[in-house]
Structure 1
Amino acid sequence: MKSTVEHLSPTRVRINVEVPFDELKPDFDRAYKKIAQQVRIPGFRPGKAPARILEARIGRGPVLDEVVNAAIPVKYQEAVVTSEDVKPIGRPDIEVTEIADGERIAFTAEVDIRPEITLPDLDGLIVEVDETEVTEDEVTEQLDQLRARFGTLAGVERPAQSGDYVQIDLSAAVDGEEIEEATTTGFSYEVGQGGLIDGIDEALEGMSADEEKTFTSKLVAGEHADKDAEITVKVTTVKERHLPEADDEFAQLASEFDTLDELTENLRERLGRSKRMEQAAQARDRLLDKLVEDTEVPLPESVVAAEVETRTHDAVHAFDHDEDKFGEFLSSQDKTREQFDTETREEAEKAVRYRLVLDTLADREEISVGDQELTERIVYQAQQYGMAPEQFVQQIQQAGQLGVIYQDVRRSKALITAVRAATVTLPGGEAVDLSDLLGPDEDETTVEEIPATDVDGADDTADDAADTTADETSDKADAKA
């Protein structure tokens, strides 16, 4: 077999392949055997008719078609393997250019490839991260969150105010017609928390039990999305929350500590660790942004188009692929379909650019992924989906996604390597040592401890550790009890 490569652009090549017929004998043997099973010829059992009899019965054409269709994918892969500078990242467009019976077959394959990218020297990269100082206000906020978990609600004979809990009945009408799906009774709501209906908090403040009020607000979902509706709210009860005193007795109730000072110090330490994790995540994300910013990255069009298609499919899928419903949703967000398409294209290009940079970095740093590391990532992701690891593995294998997870781990390791090599500083210029979070060079097992970075630069698992500090402390109290 002979093959040559033409570079059509920095991201696309044409591979020209010529295969002599003497290399196709195994393919002809398989083709005859397959066709013989499908054709009934008097005097021969299924699959036993000789080749010359088959060709006399059905002609040479079907045999050649079977051989060509079976051989081309294999020969294409052989051509790719022998062309060391070609790294395909898309599906090839194959065209058969010649079938000279008894002599050769020839075809071309145009495919997008990973472009050659020149990355900057990691030792010269500097990224700035935020300070990790824990303020007393932050510690107090965590303590108050913990107290709130042990708080009690008591009814009051006064108008509702921000922070109170009210039980309400809600209804909505558009043009005098009541909207059934917008009606609810006995709904518990914290005044001032927001996120329910625009205007609800302003309406509730000052209302007492058994009072009713009507106000106008826009509906954000359903058949009447983006229309003004008359919202009627009736308060049935008003309750205020009483927090336990922050003292040693509370510390013993809510944690494994005997004194409030010990509990407070523990909250401060947890917040500090959380902030250091956030700092490491900042260093990772900002370094990746800087790498991409300082690197020229040609984008393979077919790969970007596939990314756009995937993101668009996922967005419309949430609306059962109903374009009208999706259009209504966009309108409720003050966005046109053209704006959505433009933003999706920009996000897709960013995602592809990040992947190409990380893959190039992984190659340059000779990053490998061990079985244990791959297993740990699979177990981690299975937990994220609430699935048993065995079930998760089965699904990703069926979907052909095991290689995707492998690449994700490899990219994560490459990025951790870059953070370890770069200089990380505070706003004042003081260097920050993150080695205890990144792990030594020989040990990559701490990769999962820092929230994973998606290829579009966003966190897959947002680090809300500071928000959960009080929860963790309370969980320990439950275990102690």
Structure 2
Amino acid sequence: MKSAVETLNPTRVRLTVEVPFEELKDSLDAAYKKINQQVTVKGFRKGKVPARVIDQRFGRGAVLEEAVNDALPKFYTEAVNEAEINPLGQPEVDITELKDGETLNFTAEVDVRPVIEIPDYSGIEVEVDAVEVSDEDIEKSVEQLRTRFASTSPVERAAADGDVVTLDLEAKVDGEVLADGVADGVQYTIGSGELLDGIDEAVTGLEAGGEATFTSQLKGGSAEGKDAEITVKVTQVAARELPELDDEFAQMASEFDTLEELKADSRKRLENMKQYDQATQAQERVLEKLLELVEVPVPEKLLEDEIRTRKHNLEHHQLGQMGLDLAKYLEIQGKTEEEFDAETKEQAVKGIKTQFVLDELVSREKLNVSQEELTEHLMRRAASSGMSPDQFAQAVVEGGQVPMLVGEVARGKALATVVEASTVKDTNGEVVDMSDDEDEVEEATEVAAAATGDEEKSEA
């Protein structure tokens, strides 16, 4: 077999392949055997029809077509290996010449990974938010905890902001009560914004037994998105009573003995959260800077496939789980379809560039993924998916997604390598030492996976 490669552009090549006819022998034998099992010829047992009879009855052309279809993948793979290219997706194959007993010639056009030159990235500098926890942040955190332990008691007065009211609701559209538009005994905290737009204004000032009518757009149910006339009746008003902020509250709401210990723990937790956000911010900004440094041509066919995949996953998985279609989603987001398409394309281009650049770094830096790193990543992905580690691992193996997870971790290690070589300063001008972050690789893995869209693909 002879083959030659022609570069059509930085991301696409054409392979020209010449195959001597004798190399088709195994595939021809297999073709005759396959056809033998499928046909019945009078006077011959099934599977025992001679080749010459098959040629006479069904045509030599049918045998050649079967043999060529069987042989092409093998010859294509040999040509790819000989040319030392990295194909992306399926090739477009064209048989240019097929002479029985003489030769098989074909061409195969396919997208390939572009050659990428990674420049010196040690000069990258980014700025991130400083890790600062104020007394106000701590008070807010403790107040949220205090709210969770609030008790309620019925009162005989008009409902006010913060009260818990028990409501009977009825929704009408075009004067007709909806089948799913009646609910009794609904508890609602005034001011929480968790029910219907306009309900706070309607029930504020009503005592038990009071009624009000208002118009609101329905957020779910059979008439979702339509304006409805809502009749609300207050059957009970209850005041929330917050526990005193003292040591007794700390003992009730936590494992700590004193309020000061509870506040100290809140400060520590808030600092950890802000440090995580800071690390993620650093990795995202370093990645942006890295992509600006590297020229990355994007294969058109790969880009089309990526856009199609992202749209499919959004429409059929993410939005489907929320009970939305694309039109409703765009309405909520306040976007036109053209704006959505432009954003999707931009995200797809960034995802492809991110994968190409980080994969090149993995190869250049000779980064490997240990079993321990893969297991840790799998555990985290399982937790975010709501599955047990065993269930998630089984789904990954059955779906053939282990190489994808390995690739995610490897790209995370590549990004972490760039971050460590970069200069990260906070808004106070202080240098942030990213090497102190114990979870740096896993955090970088999540950032890289989000950029490439790997998380959505594996969930889908």
TM range (shorter): 0.7 to 0.9
| CA contact 1:199–1:215 (8 Å) conserved in 2 | yes
- Pairwise CA distance, 1:206: 2.5
The alpha-carbon deviation at position 424 of structure 1 amounts to: 1.0
Matches for 1:291-302 after TM superposition, within 5 Å: 291-302=290-301
- Tell me if structure 2 keeps the 8 A contact 1:225–1:332: no
Q: Quote how far apart the aligned CAs of 1:69 are.
A: 0.8
1:457 corresponds in structure 2 to 451
Alpha-carbon distance in 2 for matches of 1:332, 1:260: 43
- 1:42 positional shift: 5.3
CA distance in 1, matches of 2:418, 2:5: 33
Residues 71-470 of structure 1: pairs in structure 2 closer than 5 A: 71-84=71-84, 86-221=85-220, 224-317=223-316, 326-328=326-328, 330-331=330-331, 333-438=333-438, 447-448=441-442, 452-453=446-447, 455=449, 457=451
Q: Secondary structure at the match of 1:24?
A: helix
3-state DSSP of counterpart to 2:76: helix
On the 8 A contact 1:199/1:217 being kept in 2, the answer is yes
**1:397 offset after TM fit, Å?**
4.1
Residue 190 to residue 364, structure 1, CA distance change in 2 (3 Å):
farther
What is the CA distance between 1:19 and its match in structure 2?
A: 1.9
SS in 1 for 2:40: coil
User: Gapped runs of 5+ residues in structure 2?
Assistant: 456-460
Deviation at 1:432, TM superposition (A): 0.7
Q: Give deviations 1:314-358, integer Å, cap 9, x for gaps.
A: 33326779xx96435544554443443333333333332332332
User: Which range is displaced more, 394-403 or 263-272?
Assistant: 394-403
Shift of 1:57: 4.2
Query: Within 1, Cα distance between the matches of 2:79 and 2:454?
Result: 37
How far apart are 1:131 and its partner, in Å? 0.8
Per-residue CA shift, 1:271-291, capped at 9, x if unaligned? 212211111111111111222
CA distance in 1, matches of 2:380, 2:283: 20
Matched residues in 2 for 1:305 and 1:459: separation?
15
State the TM-score, normalizing by the size of structure 2.
0.88
Residue 468 of structure 1 is matched in structure 2 by none
Rounded to whole Å, the distance in 2 between the matches of 1:44 and 1:245 is 97
Tell me the distance in 1 between the aligned counterparts of 2:152 and 2:453: 37
What is the rounded CA distance, in whole Å, between the counterparts of 1:25 and 1:167 in structure 2?
82
1:379-432 superposed Cα distances (whole Å, 9 cap, x missing partner): 432333333445434434444433322222222221112112211111233211
Aligned equivalents of 1:128, 1:64: Cα separation in 2:
65
CA deviations over 1:108-159 (Å, ceiling 9, x no partner): 2222222233334221111111111111111112222222332212222232
The change in CA–CA distance for 1:301 and 1:227 in structure 2 (over 3 A counts) is same
Secondary structure at the residue paired with 1:374?
Answer: helix
* Change over 3 Å in CA distance of 1:376–1:102 after alignment to 2: farther
Residue 8 (structure 1) aligns with:
8
Identity rate of aligned residues, in percent?
49
Structure 1: which 5+ residue stretches go unaligned? 440-445, 462-481
Alpha-carbon spacing, 1:328–1:253, altered in 2? closer, same or farther (3 Å): closer
User: In the alignment, residue 164 of structure 2 is paired with which amino acid?
Assistant: Y
Whole-angstrom CA distance in 1 between matches of 2:140 and 2:251: 19
Any conservation in 2 of the 1:416–1:438 contact (CA below 8 Å)?
A: no
- Name the stretch that deviates more: 28-37 or 135-144: 28-37
User: What amino acid sits opposite 2:143 in the alignment?
Assistant: D
CA pair 223-336 structure 1, distance change in 2 beyond 3 A: farther
Q: Is the 8 A contact 1:16 1:109 kept in 2?
A: yes
What secondary structure does 2:90 align onto? coil
Gap change, CA 1:117 and 1:438, over 3 Å in 2: farther
Aligned to 2:458: none
Aligned alpha-carbon RMSD (Å): 2.9
- Find the residue that maps to 2:437 and give its secondary structure: helix
| Alpha carbons 1:126, 1:422 under 8 Å: kept | yes
Task: Letter of the 1:271 partner, please give it.
Answer: L
| Deviations 1:256-312 (CA, angstroms, capped at 9, x unpaired) | 222222222122112212211111111111111222233332222222211222232
- What is the TM-score when the length of structure 1 is the normalising length? 0.84
Q: 1:343 to 1:256 in 2, by over 3 A?
A: same
Q: Which amino acid aligns with 1:91?
A: Q
- Equivalent residues of 2:247, 2:259 under 8 A apart: yes
Q: Distance in 1 between matches of 2:375 and 2:36?
A: 45
Shift in alpha-carbon separation, 1:251–1:320, aligned structure 2, 3 A: closer
Whether contact under 8 Å (1:452, 1:459) holds in the other structure is: no
> Against the structure 1 CA distance between its residues 82 and 34, is the aligned structure 2 distance closer, same or farther, given a 3 Å change threshold?
same
Q: Distance in 1 between matches of 2:260 and 2:452?
A: 38
User: Helix, strand or coil: the match of 2:8?
Assistant: strand
CA contact (8 A) 2:415 2:444 kept: no
SS at match of 1:171: strand
Contact 2:169 2:233 in 1 (8 A): yes
Change (3 A) 1:172 1:286: same
